Structure 1
Amino acid sequence: MEPTGAWDRERTEAFLHSETIPLRLSCHTRADALWMLSLWYRYRDGALWCATSAEADVVDYLAGDDRVAFEISTNQPPYKGVRGNGTASIEPDSDKSLLKELLDRYLGGTDSPLADRLLSPDREEVRIRIEPSRVYTWDFSERMASSVPEDPR
């Protein structure tokens, strides 16, 4: 992954490792309509990894067309982030290890009603591996500096 835009590879990877913003994923449905959804992610070995139910519509959509676009960006100013496109592949997460990693990353652990529901033995889980082809970064920190109130913390 060699990004274009505001950041080099090291800064891009630091952002992807540190931010706990859901990834917005765009794909094509079986009817070739566009579909977008948000998923928790983890960046590892040059790929973005997400987990979802094996029954989720996106699993069927990606089986029909593996081309995707994605964005991980801040929701509060100053705006910055990573977007791109690539291909997605699906594989089982039978021991739910990726899901557990994501629960730790986004919720701080697996001790919650949501975690209990997602980790239910009755729920089949899969991993979505997004292999980026093109990555673009942006960071409006400098140009928005005078427009963003200082954090009082």
Structure 2
Amino acid sequence: MTEFRGTWTEDDVETFLQETTVPIRIATRRPDGSPWIVTLWYRYRDGALECATQANADLVRFLRHEPAIAFDISTNRVPYRGIRGNGTVEIDSDGGPVLRDLVERYLGGTDSPLAEWLLDEEREEARIRIAPDEIYSWDYSDRMGAGSSDRTA
């Protein structure tokens, strides 16, 4: 069960995750113990965060070795707001459907050279499913002013 702390209610967090199309930053450890951070597209489904990446990516190997992670999803423009937390990762080989949804979410469709490259049938994709243990939200809108209300901020 996810523990929610910070400025927003659980419903506010879910709305932010559904409507905001900034990438997730995932922090993990390499097998030698050194820290590693990566940025990926995500979708929020049934209380979990889902990403896709190439099945042979270093990240997949790192997460198989150490499934405990920390994450951050936050806007890059004023007013700054977002969530951070920690959780556990599960990886499976069914990343294709997730990737298609992510391409549509972040690129607005599948009709572009990048989308075609990402969705090439020759690519093997892994699904990364993050089960959050703790989510902490913050929103600096009151002290920073309205600023940009762009959902991709």
**Short-chain TM bin:** over 0.9
SS at match of 2:136: strand
* C-alpha spacing 1:142/1:110, structure 2 compared with 1 (3 Å): same
Per-residue CA deviation, residues 18-65 of structure 1 (Å, 9 max, x unaligned), is 000000000010111100010000001110000000011100000100
SS at match of 2:129: strand
1:108 aligns with 2:136: no
Equivalent-residue separation in structure 1 for 2:24 and 2:72 (angstroms): 6
SS at match of 2:110: coil
Aligned residue in 2 for 1:135 = 135
Equivalent-residue separation in structure 2 for 1:70 and 1:5 (angstroms): 15
Equivalent-residue separation in structure 1 for 2:16 and 2:26 (angstroms): 18
Out of 74-83 and 117-126, give the one that drifted further: 117-126
Aligned residue in 2 for 1:24 = 25
Aligned residue in 2 for 1:73 = 74
Aligned residue in 1 for 2:118 = 118
Please say which structure displays the higher CA radius of gyration. Answer: 1
Equivalent-residue separation in structure 1 for 2:57 and 2:115 (angstroms): 17
> Any gaps of 5 or more consecutive residues in structure 2?
none
Per-residue CA deviation, residues 109-148 of structure 1 (Å, 9 max, x unaligned), is 1111111111112210010000001110000000112xx6
> Any gaps of 5 or more consecutive residues in structure 1?
none
SS at match of 1:142: helix
SS at match of 2:114: helix
* C-alpha displacement of 1:149: 5.2
Aligned residue in 2 for 1:92 = 93
* C-alpha spacing 1:109/1:18, structure 2 compared with 1 (3 Å): same
**Contact 2:78–2:147, Cα closer than 8 Å, also in 1:** no
* C-alpha spacing 1:88/1:150, structure 2 compared with 1 (3 Å): closer
Equivalent-residue separation in structure 1 for 2:43 and 2:29 (angstroms): 22
**Contact 1:2–1:8, Cα closer than 8 Å, also in 2:** no
Aligned residue in 2 for 1:45 = 46
Normalised to the residue count of structure 2, the TM-score between the two structures is 0.92
Equivalent-residue separation in structure 2 for 1:64 and 1:129 (angstroms): 15
One-letter code of the match for 1:110?
Answer: T
Normalised to the residue count of structure 1, the TM-score between the two structures is 0.92
Equivalent-residue separation in structure 2 for 1:65 and 1:2 (angstroms): 22
One-letter code of the match for 2:111?
Answer: D
Aligned residue in 2 for 1:60 = 61
